[in-house]
């Protein structure tokens, strides 16, 4: 079953499970707001959504539920949002892949999030680490690059899928270092971590939440962070920019979106609720435990940021010939 068949089935089930949409977000009785998550449970978008939900629901005066809709590299959730009424009862917590990269790596998609959604603002960024199995001979980025140059196309790295932040980080790493490595896409982070620990992969740009424990126990070696600044969770690990590739930076971020036609006053209302949730002390502490940091923005700032990200990654996708078609 392809993701379009899955979409039709999910839409039917969703229509049976949910009552008809109310005319406005603020009108009651209080009915649950459904937050679509374009990934399986346990990933960064899922974890951050569930951490923010209680405060978000309190700010909006309505219950809110997380609705995992993986499939089609995020396109299933995108199409469900595009089909939803613009009443605030269906929102999307999307990823860099689902919101920005998918239209770059797949042709003729029916939904382009930057064109077809109302952006409500960025929410969080996730700390990633460049890690290798502890038994590999290199101990730093320079050693990894030297090994890749000695064995063009042989060293492999894993990511959670084509167009994911981990894939983009690896492709940009190849380009910046002038090397050629093999990308191995996975359907999520769990098996990826298992395979890199066992040595089936040579390196990966994976979330600190899934790798830091293994770095601390000596099963993985942290070589660098791909973000512009060092992570407070691993202050001794340099950025890739510090290791001889100046200007290298990849942010693994998420953002909230609504269907086209969502009223401007409700856009501001949801954005204010998001900002309050991202400033909540308890929520921030829980996010930090997962190596996730608040990244609040206004709707306008979020839309501009995503447009800039689209332009940045379009050049890389074209140069690296990244495609899901």
Question: Does position 269 have pLDDT exceeding 70, yes or no?
Answer: yes
Six token digits for residue 54:
């209680």
- Domain end, chosen from 243, 270, 304, is at 243
Q: Which residues are bridge partners to 246 per DSSP? A: none
Average pLDDT, the chain: 90
Tell me the DSSP string of 210-250.
HHHHHHHTTSEEEEEB-SSS--TTSTTSPBGGGGT-TT---
SS3 132: strand
d(CA 206, CA 212): 10
Mean pLDDT of 257-282: 98
pLDDT reported for residue 31: 86
**204 and 281 in one domain?**
no
**144 and 94 in one domain?**
no
Mean pLDDT of 41-48: 86
CATH number at 139 reads 3.40.190.10
- Residue 73 DSSP class: G
Six token digits for residue 88:
């605030």
**118 and 260 in one domain?**
yes
- Domain end, chosen from 219, 243, 267, is at 243
**94 and 204 in one domain?**
no
Nearest CA among 253, 239, 17, 270 for reference residue 130:
239
**288 and 214 in one domain?**
no
CATH number at 28 reads 3.40.190.150
**141 and 154 in one domain?**
yes
Asked whether residue 325 is domain-assigned, the answer is no
Report pTM: 0.84
Q: Are 299 and 120 in contact (CB under 8 A)?
A: yes
**38 and 182 in one domain?**
no
pLDDT reported for residue 213: 92
**190 and 97 in one domain?**
no
Share of the chain above pLDDT 90, in %: 77
The vertex-82 CA angle with 77 and 86, nearest 5°, equals: 120
Mean pLDDT of 138-167: 95
Asked whether residue 70 is domain-assigned, the answer is yes
Domain that holds residue 231: 128-243
Asked whether residue 68 is domain-assigned, the answer is yes
d(CA 50, CA 44): 10
Asked whether residue 93 is domain-assigned, the answer is yes
- Domain end, chosen from 191, 226, 243, is at 243
Asked whether residue 51 is domain-assigned, the answer is yes
The vertex-225 CA angle with 203 and 280, nearest 5°, equals: 125
pLDDT reported for residue 29: 52
**133 and 117 in one domain?**
no
**59 and 106 in one domain?**
yes
**257 and 121 in one domain?**
yes
In total, how many domains does the chain have?
2
Mean pLDDT of 230-235: 87
Residues 6+ apart with CB under 8 A from 175: 316, 319, 320
**159 and 64 in one domain?**
no
d(CA 76, CA 156): 29
């Amino acid at each position: 079953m392809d993701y379009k068949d899955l979409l039709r089935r999910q839409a039917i089930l969703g229509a049976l499970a949910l009552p008809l949409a109310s005319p406005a977000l603020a009108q009651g009785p209080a009915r649950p707001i459904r937050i679509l998550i374009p990934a399986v449970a346990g990933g960064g978008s899922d974890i951050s959504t569930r951490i923010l939900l209680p405060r978000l629901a309190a700010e909006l005066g309505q219950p809110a539920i997380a609705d995992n809709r993986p499939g089609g590299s995020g396109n299933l959730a995108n199409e469900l949002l595009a089909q939803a009424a613009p009443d605030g009862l269906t929102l999307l917590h999307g990823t860099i892949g689902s919101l920005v990269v998918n239209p770059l790596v797949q042709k003729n998609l029916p939904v382009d999030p930057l064109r077809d959604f109302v952006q409500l603002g960025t929410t969080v960024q996730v700390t990633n680490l460049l890690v290798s199995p502890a038994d590999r001979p290199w101990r730093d980025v320079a050693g990894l690059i030297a090994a890749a140059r000695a064995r063009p196309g042989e060293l492999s790295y894993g990511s959670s899928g084509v167009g994911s932040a981990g894939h983009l980080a690896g492709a940009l790493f190849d380009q910046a270092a002038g090397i050629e490595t093999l990308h191995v896409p996975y359907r999520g982070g769990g098996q990826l971590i298992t395979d890199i620990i066992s040595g089936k992969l040579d390196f990966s740009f994976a979330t600190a939440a899934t790798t830091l424990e293994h770095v601390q126990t000596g099963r993985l070696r942290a070589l660098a962070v791909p973000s512009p600044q060092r992570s407070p969770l691993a202050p001794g690990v340099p950025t890739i920019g510090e290791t001889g590739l100046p200007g290298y930076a990849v942010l693994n971020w998420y953002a909230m979106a609504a269907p086209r036609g969502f009223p401007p006053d409700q856009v501001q209302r949801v954005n204010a609720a998001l900002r309050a949730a991202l400033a909540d002390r308890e929520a921030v502490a829980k996010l930090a435990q997962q190596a996730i940091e608040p990244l609040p923005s206004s709707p306008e700032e979020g839309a501009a940021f995503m447009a800039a990200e689209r332009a940045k990654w379009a050049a890389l996708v074209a140069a690296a010939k990244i495609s899901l078609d």
